[in-house]
């Protein structure tokens, strides 16, 4: 067996352990009763350590070096070898006991967050969140030392390979400068329009669920290879051949749940479209979370908010919910721009402002410049300064997101990188397939999905995010395209 083949075997085993843990995490969010929390935290700790050990054994450096000295012939194999090295750098930098402690503590903290959020009780979360921040900082320090990066960059690199503060800071500074006047102009314009009639509920949960399922199927979600369930914080997990996406329902507001399903289905189509032959190898996965997010936003923000798709939605939503909905009314609701409290419900124009607040706070937390106990106040101040609204509670403030309790620091920028990439990809798709708007008017996603599959999904991690974008759109990540899209859709 060649060194490369031996590495292939190790990473296969790593994937089987990691995907087992992912399934247990999906279960913890979507299925598990409260009593299972302690056991689940211990199970995840064990599985994460074993997955870590599989690709950080002492002989890995020699295997990698030998394989790189005599690289395999195929382009996929060579890209896989590069992805293996990247994964090894992240894994080997962190000692096993730290991996286990972090998995255990974040699993417990995430569970505590559920209760703390429901009861608006930050104090109850504080001790565990402090522990999570401390352990995450130690992980970041260990990686930073090996990778020659700042602690924050070392953490963010796990989600977004190549993402660096040096580039993110000016990008977000520009958005923080340009978006508020844009938002002001949109808000003023929308205020001058006649008031939007409310979408009168209640909309029964089972009917909303059937509507969401219908849309997911129209988009190409294969229910023989995935599920749609309910969780507090919607997400898309599982594996390519068994995708587990979740949503949440509000009887008073079907639009948010439906568009949430469209969002998660965008993620799911990416997973389902990854190269099957490489499903258990690093090159078979996504090159970064920003590109993953681009696929959800391509569907949710770019496609689903076109007049064409909203027209289709008005018809099928009316049929499923048993009410008479007009496209114009849906459009006014779906395109409403407002400075609001909750990130996941934010419109596309203010969403980056929510990210900016978090990007700034998580850097301060990781650096130790902000104590965890001071987070609630700092979060309110940040929201007031950047987004323009002050959360009256922590539930609507720093407790709204699962990311930090679950140990994900450095993840938030991916949402905005994804929004930019989505704008670029949709523009390119419209050029390549001019029939897309007419298809969307019929609820037909064929050409858009084909474009996404051809230019993004099927490549796995063979190219990095910028490489994918350059091949698909002719240029790397470019905030101009997002800003132009916003001006055109809302002011043009």
Give the residue numbers marked as catalytic: 264
Its sign, for the CA torsion 462, 464, 465, 471, is: negative
Which CB atom, from 129 or from 239, has the smaller least distance to its own copies?
Answer: 239
Which CB atom, from 184 or from 251, has the smaller least distance to its own copies?
Answer: 251
Residue the block writes with tokens 């018809």: 315
- Ordered alpha helix ranges (H), 94-233: 96-118, 122-147, 151-159, 165-192, 205-219
Token pair listed for 333: 């609701």
Determine if 74 is a binding residue for its own copies (CB under 8 A).
no
Count of residues of this chain found to bind its own copies when the rule CB under 8 A is applied: 33
In angstroms, what is the minimal distance from the CB of 47 to its own copies? 6
Give the Å distances, CA to CA, from 256 to 307, 354, 474: 17, 18, 33
Determine if 136 is a binding residue for its own copies (CB under 8 A).
no
In angstroms, what is the minimal distance from the CB of 58 to its own copies? 19
Residues 335-364, interacting with its own copies (CB under 8 A)? none
245-284 mask for its own copies (x: CB under 8 A)? ----------------------------------x-----
Considering only 30-38, 85-93, 155-163, 369-377, which stretch makes contact with its own copies by CB under 8 A? 30-38
Which CB atom, from 32 or from 430, has the smaller least distance to its own copies?
Answer: 32
Spatial contact of 115 and 124, defined as CB atoms under 8 Å apart: yes
Determine if 213 is a binding residue for its own copies (CB under 8 A).
no
Per CB under 8 A, the list member of 224, 369, 488, 492 interacting with its own copies is: 224
In angstroms, what is the minimal distance from the CB of 298 to its own copies? 24
Per CB under 8 A, the list member of 2, 5, 9, 31 interacting with its own copies is: 31
Determine if 77 is a binding residue for its own copies (CB under 8 A).
no
Q: What phi, psi does 226 have (nearest 5°)?
A: 180, 170
Judged on CB neighbours under 10 Å (0-12, 13-18, 19+), 460 is: buried
Spatial contact of 104 and 119, defined as CB atoms under 8 Å apart: no
Give the Å distances, CA to CA, from 491 to 45, 185, 259, 415, 442: 50, 8, 23, 23, 26
DSSP-based three-state secondary structure for 421: helix
Considering only 31-39, 291-299, 357-365, 386-394, which stretch makes contact with its own copies by CB under 8 A? 31-39
34-73 mask for its own copies (x: CB under 8 A)? xxx-xxx-xx--xx--x-----------------------
DSSP-based three-state secondary structure for 56: coil
- Return the closest-CA partner of residue 448 out of 464, 462, 437: 437
Considering only 19-27, 159-167, 405-413, 449-457, which stretch makes contact with its own copies by CB under 8 A? 19-27
In angstroms, what is the minimal distance from the CB of 223 to its own copies? 6
Q: List, in order, residues 6 or more apart from 461 with CB less than 8 Å away.
A: 79, 83, 282, 283, 284, 285, 286, 287
Per CB under 8 A, the list member of 6, 16, 149, 466 interacting with its own copies is: 16
Per CB under 8 A, the list member of 242, 250, 253, 384 interacting with its own copies is: 242
Which CB atom, from 244 or from 305, has the smaller least distance to its own copies?
Answer: 244
Which CB atom, from 47 or from 79, has the smaller least distance to its own copies?
Answer: 47
How far apart are the C-alpha atoms of 20 and 51, rounded to whole Å?
Answer: 10
- Return the closest-CA partner of residue 14 out of 49, 41, 65, 40: 49
Binding site for its own copies (CB under 8 A): 13, 16-17, 19-20, 23-24, 27, 31-36, 38-40, 42-43, 46-47, 50, 222-227, 238-239, 241-242, 279
């Amino acid at each position: 067996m060649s060194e490369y083949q031996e590495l292939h075997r190790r990473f296969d085993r790593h994937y089987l352990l990691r995907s087992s843990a992912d399934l247990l995490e999906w279960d913890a969010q979507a299925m598990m009763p409260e009593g299972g929390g302690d056991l689940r935290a211990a199970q995840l700790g064990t599985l994460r350590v074993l997955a870590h050990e599989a690709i950080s054994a002492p002989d890995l450096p020699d295997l990698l070096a030998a394989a790189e000295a005599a690289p395999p012939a195929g382009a996929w194999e060579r890209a896989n070898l590069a992805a293996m090295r990247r994964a090894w750098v992240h894994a080997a930098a962190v000692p096993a006991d730290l991996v286990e402690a972090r998995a255990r503590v974040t699993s417990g903290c995430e569970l505590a967050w559920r209760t703390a959020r429901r009861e608006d009780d930050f104090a109850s979360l504080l001790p565990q969140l402090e522990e999570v921040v401390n352990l995450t900082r130690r992980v970041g320090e260990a990686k930073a030392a090996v990778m020659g990066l700042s602690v924050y960059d070392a953490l963010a690199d796990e989600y977004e390979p190549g993402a660096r503060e040096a580039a993110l800071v000016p990008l977000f500074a520009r958005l923080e400068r340009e978006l508020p006047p844009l938002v002001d102009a949109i808000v003023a314009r929308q205020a001058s329009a006649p008031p939007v009639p409310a979408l009168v509920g209640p909309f029964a949960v089972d009917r909303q669920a059937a509507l969401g399922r219908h849309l997911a199927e129209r988009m190409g979600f294969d229910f023989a290879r995935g599920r749609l369930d309910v969780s507090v914080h919607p997400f898309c997990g599982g594996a390519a051949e068994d995708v587990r996406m979740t949503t949440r329902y509000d009887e008073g507001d079907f639009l948010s749940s439906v568009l949430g399903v469209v969002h998660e289905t965008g993620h799911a189509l990416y997973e389902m479209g990854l190269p099957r032959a490489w499903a258990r190898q690093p090159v078979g996965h996504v090159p970064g979370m920003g590109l993953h997010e681009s696929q959800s936003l391509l569907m949710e923000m770019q496609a689903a908010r076109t007049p064409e798709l909203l027209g289709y939605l008005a018809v099928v939503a009316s049929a499923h919910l048993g009410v008479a909905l007009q496209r114009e009314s849906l459009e006014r609701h779906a395109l409403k721009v407002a400075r609001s409290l909750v990130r996941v419900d934010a419109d596309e124009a203010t969403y980056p402002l929510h990210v900016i607040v978090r990007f700034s706070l998580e850097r301060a937390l990781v650096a130790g410049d902000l104590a965890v106990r001071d987070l609630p106040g700092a979060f309110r101040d940040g929201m007031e300064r950047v987004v323009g609204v002050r959360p009256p509670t922590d539930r609507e403030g720093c407790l709204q997101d699962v990311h930090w309790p679950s140990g994900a620091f450095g993840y938030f920028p991916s949402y905005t990188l994804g929004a930019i990439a989505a704008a670029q990809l949709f523009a390119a798709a419209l050029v390549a397939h001019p029939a897309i708007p007419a298809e969307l008017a019929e609820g037909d996603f064929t050409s858009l999905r084909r474009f996404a599959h051809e230019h993004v999904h099927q490549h796995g991690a063979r190219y990095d995010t910028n490489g994918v974008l350059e091949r698909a759109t002719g240029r790397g990540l470019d905030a101009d395209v997002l800003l132009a899209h916003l001006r055109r859709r809302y002011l043009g």
